[in-house]
Amino acid sequence: MPLLTRMVGTPLAIDIWPGAVNGLAPLLADRRISSGGHVAVAVGPGQGEEIAALLRPKLANAEIWTVENGTVEAAQDLAKRLRTGFYDALVGIGGGRTLDVAKHAASASGLPVVTVATSLAHDGIASPVASLEEGGRKASYGVQMPIAVVVDLDYVRRSEPALRRSGIGDVVSNLSAIADWRLAERESGEPVDGVAVTFARTAATSVLHREDGIDDEPFLIALAEALVLSGLAMATAGSSRPCSGGDHEILHAIDHLFPDTARHGELAGAASLFTCFLHGDETLAGEIDACLRRHELPRTPADLGLSEDQFVQAVLHAPATRPDRYTILEHLHLDEKRTREHVRAFIDAFDR
């Protein structure tokens, strides 16, 4: 009897452990990635440059360049450089901006990309999505899945604590995104990919109730694996749907209306709490609230540095950031009066 199975694309290698960078050179010499270390390396400032210095003696055939920012222009410039030479792969080393630039440039050049994460701020370390700035606004671009993912926990521990906390907010927001996807299934018949949902929910719940924290190795392993699973969820779905619902619509609206308010994952966590409140799911909202409190993440507009009026503006603008996406925000058809009522009720319930 034939076995009817589904093929799910994943990276060839996922290395998450202290000292993982020490295995990077042998990994790049793997013939599935490069026949002799003929790779280009894009590094971000700080720890990315430090890792590049360690790699130079081990990768004599590598070309190493610095990525200054997380813009579309930076990705295009990197892609042009890649086209001037002959490389087996591109390696991105650094934080989320550097990795997104590398993923975009590699996709534009038809090269596989290896991501080496020095922080755990969001699920971009293994996702088929790159978030880049263009004309002062952030936009998401579909890119290829990394061929390998490396997370060195020694470098992650040295990153800002706020970056590690941000990753928690981003992965926990999967739960409200799934609720929005199921709502779209019920109301508009949008198909839901159960495999993608399984990856996304497993990622979120693996972190949601943990009592240890961002300085503990077991927690950092769980968080890194959760962010990778979120990337697999998006790759399986063929979109960001399992990890991005009304919460990310609000996040993108805040980024547009009030730039530099907070980090991506901080916004995702607080917006996720609000959309769970709109869904009327008191149990899930309580679990997310407890998780955000435990890890000292923003929960309310005031925690984010936003006034009630500013948050209302963001919620009203949010559906325009994803016109093709049906979430609790579209479902409720919120006008300014009703939005303000919901925001005030949310603040009354959680600002304590």
Tokens representing 17? 């452990």
Same structural domain, 136 and 211: no
Residues 81 and 183 in one domain: no
Q: Cβ(150)–Cβ(20) under 8 Å?
A: yes
Q: Is the domain of 40 the same as that of 77?
A: yes
> Could you tell me if 130 and 178 lie in one domain?
no
User: Is the CB of residue 303 less than 8 Å from the CB of residue 273?
Assistant: no
Does residue 1 register a pLDDT over 60?
no
pLDDT in tens, 218-229: 999 999 999 999
Both 124 and 187 in one domain: the answer is no
Could you identify the residue written with the tokens 């295009």? 76
In a domain, 3, yes or no: no
Q: Are residue 236 and residue 293 in the same domain, yes or no?
A: yes
Q: Average pLDDT, stretch 52-61? A: 84
Same domain, 215 and 305: yes
Range of the domain at 122: 13-158
Q: Torsion angle of alpha carbons 23, 28, 29, 34, nearest 10°? A: 170
pLDDT of 227-253, one tens digit each?
999 999 999 999 999 999 999 999 999
Q: Are 184 and 169 found together in one domain?
A: yes
pLDDT at residue 31 in the model: 66
CA distances from 119 to 47, 78, 301, 326, 330 (A): 10, 22, 25, 32, 34
pLDDT on residue 28: 81
How many structural domains compose the chain? 2
Listed residues 103, 134, 158: the one ending a domain: 158
Q: What is the CATH number of the domain that holds 122?
A: 3.40.50.1970
Q: Are residues 154 and 178 in the same domain?
A: no
Q: Looking at this protein, which amino acid is placed at residue 246?
A: G
Q: What is the CATH number of the domain that holds 318?
A: 1.20.1090.10
Using 50, 70 and 90 to split pLDDT, how confident is the model at 194? very high
Going from the C-alpha of 306 to that of each of 124, 171, 172, 261, the distances in angstroms are 26, 22, 21, 8
User: Angle of helix 246-257 relative to helix 264-279, nearest 10 degrees?
Assistant: 130
